[in-house]
């Protein structure tokens, strides 16, 4: 591992560096560990929603405009921001099944979840005190009301909660290998499931469940 931060993002050609501006605003008056923890909370609190158009090493930045995203754009953003404050980061990929959350779904979502094969969850491992710590900011706090695992408080040193039950081995990728990470399978069933899931989660946030 080199001394250069593992993640870095160049400005857009028009100089509109939304990631840099947002990082500056989020971490104003903070540095080091405090800045790292603040970035975690800010990304965690972005509402979870699956928007396939954000799942790329380029378009993830749009999560800051839309204020919604899944594990993929959340952790692509985390890697970018952590790299800018001097941290080394690896991507961690875990295969899992949406059907594992059976008890949380309304009936129509459960039917679709059963039809879906394994998918990949993205998190980060961040080098902290010589150890690559699991840092997962996927689940926003309101979704904890239905039992989804999330990290309510993080000390900046311990592993955070992993919100899925892996059905295979963890795979690690350097940020330069982001394009090698497996793309999502977006067939008609998956698209219908994600559309319903986003609506369901928003209803939870609105207090309808």
In a domain, 200, yes or no: yes
Q: What is the CATH number of the domain that holds 91?
A: 3.10.620
Digit-by-digit pLDDT tens for the chain (209 residues) are: 333 344 434 333 334 799 999 999 999 999 999 999 999 999 999 999 999 999 999 999 999 999 999 999 999 999 999 999 999 999 999 999 999 999 999 999 999 999 999 999 999 999 999 999 999 999 999 999 999 999 999 999 999 999 999 999 999 999 999 999 988 889 999 999 999 999 999 999 999 87
Residues of the domain holding 38: 18-205
Q: What is the pTM of this model?
A: 0.92
Beta-strand (E) ranges in the chain?
89-96, 119-128, 131-135, 171-173
pLDDT of residue 22: 98
Taking the C-alpha atoms of 5, 21, 179 and 90 in order, what is their torsion angle to the nearest 10 degrees? 40
In total, the chain counts a number of residues equal to 209
Number of domains in the chain: 1
Q: Does residue 7 sit within a domain? A: no
- Alpha carbon 94 to chain centroid, angstroms: 12
């Amino acid at each position: 591992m080199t001394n250069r931060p593992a993640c870095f993002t160049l400005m857009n050609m028009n100089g509109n560096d939304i990631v840099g501006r947002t990082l500056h605003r989020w971490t104003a008056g903070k540095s080091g560990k405090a800045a790292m923890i603040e970035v975690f909370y800010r990304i965690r609190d972005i509402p979870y929603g699956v928007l396939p158009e954000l799942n790329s090493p380029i378009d993830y930045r749009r999560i800051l405009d839309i204020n919604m995203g899944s594990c993929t754009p959340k952790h692509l953003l985390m890697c970018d921001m952590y790299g800018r404050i001097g941290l080394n980061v690896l991507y961690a990929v875990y295969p899992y099944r949406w059907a594992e959350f059976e008890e949380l779904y309304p009936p129509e979502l459960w039917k679709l979840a059963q039809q879906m094969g394994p998918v990949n969850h993205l998190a980060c491992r961040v080098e902290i005190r010589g150890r690559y710590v699991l840092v997962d900011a996927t689940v926003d706090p309101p979704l904890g009301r239905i039992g989804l695992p999330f990290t309510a408080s993080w000390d900046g040193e311990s592993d955070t909660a992993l919100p899925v039950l892996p059905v295979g081995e963890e795979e690690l990728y350097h940020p330069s290998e982001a394009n090698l990470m497996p793309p999502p399978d977006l067939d008609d069933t998956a698209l219908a499931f994600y559309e319903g899931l986003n609506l369901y989660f928003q209803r939870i946030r609105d207090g309808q469940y």
